[in-house]
Amino acid sequence: MKVYPRERGLHPLQQAFHEKGTVQCGYCTPGMIMTAKSFLDHHPDPTKEEVKEAIFGNLCRCTGYEKIVEAILSVKQP
């Protein structure tokens, strides 16, 4: 994973999670973002179902996953 210096701001996935309102308690966020980053590196244009399958092992009790899936789908990988 590419590390962004503080002066560059948030990684696009972090920004998407923030904008879509996926961060509530914050417990699952690091795992979701790491899973999403790895997944998008290998699947740059996934379907909604593929994203749901990719994050299946990450538990979130706050958001119900829809906003998380939306955030991941909103990030385009190079």
Write down the domain spans for the chain: 10-74
Return the pLDDT at 70. Answer: 96
CA atoms within 13 A on the CB side of 71: 26
Return the pLDDT at 24. Answer: 86
For residue 51, give both structure tokens: 């994203």
Return the pLDDT at 38. Answer: 96
pTM: 0.85
For residue 68, give both structure tokens: 């998380």
Return the pLDDT at 23. Answer: 86
Residues 6+ apart with CB under 8 A from 37: 1, 11, 13
* pLDDT greater than 90 at residue 35: yes
Return the pLDDT at 44. Answer: 94
* Answer CATH for 10-74 from 1.10.150.120, 3.30.365.10, 3.40.190.10, 1.20.140.10: 1.10.150.120
Instruction: Please state, in angstroms and rounded to a whole number, the distance separating the CA atoms of residues 78 and 61.
Output: 31
Percent of the chain with pLDDT over 70: 88
